[in-house]
Amino acid sequence: MENKHISIDKLLLPADIPDIMERYRDIITHYDSIPGSDHIYPEYKRTRKLLSVLFPLREHPVHGKTGLHAIERYDDEDHVRKYSYQWKLIIPRMSKKGYHISAWGNDPHDHEDTPLEFIVKSEPHHHHHVPGDWSKRQDNWNVWALEEALEFVAQYIRSGQEYKP
């Protein structure tokens, strides 16, 4: 896959929730009871500095009832300062290790004591790519926005194909 992004200093724009809901309405669903206190669309949390939303996704034949949990933190110029997009099992509720399918973020791991296996060339952007193993990280040049995370996940939800890196 060709890299979408080439500069780690690129300014990132906030998610456009109405556009996302329109583009992905075929995979976003509703479950009557989702345990926990996550914000679930359409009752999501959005302030001037934060977006936090869990998009429940159509049931996947292999992964089950999953969702994409998105968190974006904004700077004073309304650019995304930090992001975290987690594709995870939402029913039944499990530990972080148990629910993890795939995730992307830009929290830095650049301290001099960081283990070598956590250092990636696209730092701070990284991809937790191994289902069930949050500790594995790889370069991330393609998912730096909510739209891109949904685009990635949608291919598996629509096809029913199992995600295996």
Q: Give residue limits of the domains in the chain.
A: 17-159
For the stretch 55-85, pLDDT in tens is: 999 999 999 999 999 999 999 999 999 999 9
β strands within the chain, DSSP E: 45-46, 50-56, 65-74, 80-91, 100-105, 126-128, 138-139
Task: Select the more confidently predicted residue: 94 or 99.
Answer: 99
φ, ψ at 64 (rounded to 5°):
85, -145
Tokens of 43: 């009752």
Helices (H), 4-105: 17-23, 96-99
Chain-centre distance for alpha carbon 65: 16
